[in-house]
């Protein structure tokens, strides 16, 4: 049972369970989506959400008092924002709060994959270190062309870091950015064609689903590398795996996947890859900021005040 005097806030996914204690301490009753009991749906005022998890129209329609979806994440691709707005449901997100952390991880993946660091670690641990060439010589990064797909907060932070490594920066996104200090390619395929390494750092939506397809991967080429720290939906994962196996793409480093957790067997025989478990934005520095902002947006909404960081 819930206390009628305490607003009911819904946690949308088990990964957000640690937020429950803070919500209760702030004076809210808390429901869990995976344990929702009869009668609770009618009382839900706000959802604290992980933005990549889909929230269906049908589910949202079952919450007649819902007025806010507060995404802890920067991304909100699991939420149909125009649909929500048309029904008076506000949507917020953690805009820019983990951009530096995600950019750091992207550059870490870039270096680890480009310089065979993970493969080199396996050689040392497996007793394969000999006096003959170690793992295979790789080119350096200075002077290489780094293409950035999406020049938002994360993409810009990636570009700044790439430039500090002596790389030549170019980018592509659907909208012009006249103040950007780096040239914009004519298209995503043109960006891939001109790049040695392509980093996907854009916001995911229906317009870019599987945008990094076979054509883009072939343009990047047998000596090129793909890094994805955005969303798995942006890359045609089947096409990516085929390109790596067939040698049409040189290498890839991924923090996000089509299905998460990604099946282990899917990557068992895929060469030249570095994989991490969607951890780019999760640091002890950024997570408290992101959670704190989501909780503040809940407080502001319940108090009838304007929220922060609306989408």
Q: How many C-beta atoms surround the C-beta of residue 111 within 10 A?
A: 14
Q: Tokens 């990604």 map to which residue?
A: 262
Q: How many C-beta atoms surround the C-beta of residue 86 within 10 A?
A: 9
> If we measure between CA atoms, which residue out of 187, 207, 250, 198 comes closest to residue 229?
198
> Kind of pairing, strands 145-149 and 168-172?
parallel
Q: What are the structure tokens assigned to 191, written together?
A: 């960006």
Q: What are the structure tokens assigned to 185, written together?
A: 């390619």
- DSSP secondary structure of 32-85: EGGG--TTTGGGEEEEEE-TTS---HHHHHT-TT--EEEESSS--TTS-HHHHH
Q: Do residues 274 and 285 touch, judged by C-beta distance below 8 A?
A: no
Instruction: Please count the residues of the chain.
Output: 311
Positions marked catalytic? 231, 260, 278
273 has which bridge partners? 252
Q: What are the structure tokens assigned to 298, written together?
A: 């809940």
- Measured between alpha carbons, how far is 68 from 122 in angstroms, rounded to an integer? 48
Distances (CA, A) of 23 to 28, 31, 64: 6, 10, 21
């Amino acid at each position: 049972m819930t206390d009628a005097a305490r607003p009911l806030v819904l946690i949308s996914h088990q990964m957000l369970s640690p937020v429950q204690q803070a919500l209760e301490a702030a004076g809210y009753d808390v429901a869990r989506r995976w344990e929702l009991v009869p009668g609770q749906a009618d009382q839900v005022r706000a959802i604290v959400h992980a933005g990549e998890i889909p929230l269906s129209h049908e589910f949202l329609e079952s919450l007649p008092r819902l007025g806010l979806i507060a995404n802890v994440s920067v991304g909100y691709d699991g939420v149909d924002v125009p649909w929500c707005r048309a029904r008076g449901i506000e949507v917020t997100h953690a805009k820019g709060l983990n951009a530096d952390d995600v950019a750091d991880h992207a550059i870490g993946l870039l270096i680890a994959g480009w310089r065979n660091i993970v493969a080199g670690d396996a050689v040392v641990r497996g007793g394969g270190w000999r006096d003959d060439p170690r793992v295979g010589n790789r080119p350096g990064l200075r002077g290489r062309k780094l293409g950035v797909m999406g020049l938002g907060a994360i993409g810009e932070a990636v570009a700044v870091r790439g430039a500090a490594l002596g790389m030549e920066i170019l980018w592509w996104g659907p909208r012009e950015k006249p103040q950007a200090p780096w040239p914009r390619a004519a298209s995503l395929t043109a960006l891939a064609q001109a790049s040695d390494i392509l980093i996907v750092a854009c916001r995911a939506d229906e317009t870019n689903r599987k945008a990094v397809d076979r054509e883009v991967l072939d343009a990047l080429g047998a000596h090129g590398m793909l890094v994805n720290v955005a969303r798995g939906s942006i890359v045609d994962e089947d096409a990516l795996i085929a390109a790596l196996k067939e040698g049409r793409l040189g290498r890839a480093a991924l923090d996000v996947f089509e299905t998460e957790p990604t099946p282990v067997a899917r990557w068992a025989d895929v060469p030249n890859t570095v994989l991490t478990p969607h951890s780019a934005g999760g640091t002890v520095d950024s997570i408290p900021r992101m959670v704190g902002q989501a909780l503040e947006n809940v407080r502001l909404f319940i108090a009838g005040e304007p929220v922060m960081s609306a989408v």
